[in-house]
Amino acid sequence: MDALEEICIICAFLSVRKVFYFRERECAMPTKGAKKIAIIGAGNVGSVLGYALKQKGYELTACFARTEKSRQKAAELLGCPAYEEPEKAARQAEIVFLTTPDRVIEEVCDGIAKQGGFRREQIVLHTSGAHSSEILSAAKEAGTGVLSFHPLQTFPGLEAGLRALPGTFFAVEGDEKVFKVAEELVEALGGRSLAIPTEMKPLYHAAACVACNYLSTLMDVALRMYGVMDVSAEQAFASLSPLIHGTLRNIGEMGPEKALTGPVARGDLSTIEAHLKSIKALAPELLTFYNCLGVYTADLAYRKGTLSREQAEQLKNLLGG
């Protein structure tokens, strides 16, 4: 188990049973009370959500993927017909998940609408973090309820995705009249809901990128500094892991301000000067990165109350801020 997996809430992996591949056949009659779901774009996200919801009693009636190979894989995994046209898959469901790449969500939605794939009383949602439900306007014009339904989680594959689902937050925005359905989906997936104003969706996604993607960047910089000392990335990460986990735990318990420690929080100019001298000599390409983080950290230390305004400004001047 790697360090990132330790942060997740782990649940037992549900084994994948094989099913026959059908092309454009009607599904069996649903279990009484089950909600029919179609997955349009059966990549990692669509497969994880579809598989998990099926285990919770939702009926997976159809899926769509662009290539024959992808359709066969999706049909075997999800146990439903895989269609060559997304509008045919959409017609089979009450809830339509558009889990395509972000760049084509609106295009696919428009295409399904033009082909009569949507109808009143359906609910159409996408799982993009960056886009709001407004890109589903074609579906809304067809009379459906629309939502954006973004899992604040990474899904590198089916097994890892299923393990990560419990406790995951889902950012939900769109038609309030269908929020109840979104809440039911979140509950079935073992997650928690986070309501986001439509106009704030890009800012929400930017925050998620900072916390996830830029954390990878931050770790890469630290490992590169260790690399200058001829310490392998594996050994460097192993040595830093307790510090990383301890910091995350402290942030969770106290918040970023109270969790902040180190030379910036103490106003230790001599130590910061030593850092700058060493980085400039041994890893000059990382100096700007270090300075930018240091300037922001000085403001954080001021908010914490361990630095006066004058001390914070001294540090920022030293760091070029």
What confidence tens digit (pLDDT) does each residue in 259-275 have? 999 999 999 999 999 99
pLDDT for residue 321: 72
Say what percent of the chain tops pLDDT 90: 88
Is pLDDT above 60 for 95?
A: yes
When pLDDT is averaged across residues 51-72 and rounded to a whole number, the result is: 96
When pLDDT is averaged across residues 79-106 and rounded to a whole number, the result is: 97
In this structure, what DSSP letter does residue 57 have? T
Kindly report the number of other CB atoms within 10 A of residue 187's CB atom.
12
pLDDT for residue 34: 52
Give me the amino acid identity at 102.
D
- Distance (Å, whole) CA 96 – CA 10: 28
Residue 101 tokens, joined: 């790449």
Is pLDDT above 90 for 169?
A: yes
Is pLDDT above 90 for 109?
A: yes
CA-based radius of gyration for the chain? 24
What ranges in the chain are assigned the alpha helix state H?
3-7, 44-55, 68-78, 86-90, 105-114, 137-141, 158-164, 179-188, 201-211, 213-228, 233-254, 256-259, 263-266, 269-282, 287-304, 309-318
The per-residue pLDDT for range 210-247, each reduced to its tens digit, is 999 999 999 999 999 999 999 999 999 999 999 999 99
pLDDT for residue 10: 28
Kindly report the number of other CB atoms within 10 A of residue 76's CB atom.
15
The CATH number of domain 3-199, selected from 1.10.3720.10, 3.40.50.720, 3.90.1300.10, 1.10.645.10: 3.40.50.720
> Residue 67: exposed, middle, or buried by beta-carbon count in 10 A (0-12, 13-18, 19+)?
exposed
When pLDDT is averaged across residues 194-207 and rounded to a whole number, the result is: 93
Residue 124 tokens, joined: 């159409």
Residues 54/112, Cβ–Cβ less than 8 Å? no
The per-residue pLDDT for range 172-183, each reduced to its tens digit, is 999 999 999 999
List the 36-40 sheet strands across, edge first: 82-83, 59-64, 36-40, 95-98, 123-126, 145-151, 169-174, 192-195
Instruction: Name the residue with higher pLDDT: 148 or 30.
Output: 148
**Cα 122-174-79 angle, rounded to 5 deg:** 45
Burial 92-120 (b: 16+ CB within 10 A, else e): bbbbbbbbbeeeebbebbeebbeeebbee
Q: How confident is the model at residue 313 (pLDDT cuts 50, 70, 90)?
A: very high
- Distance (Å, whole) CA 89 – CA 245: 44
Write the CA distances from 69 to 24, 63, 72, 82, integer angstroms. 15, 13, 5, 11
Is pLDDT above 80 for 80?
A: yes
In this structure, what DSSP letter does residue 276 have? H
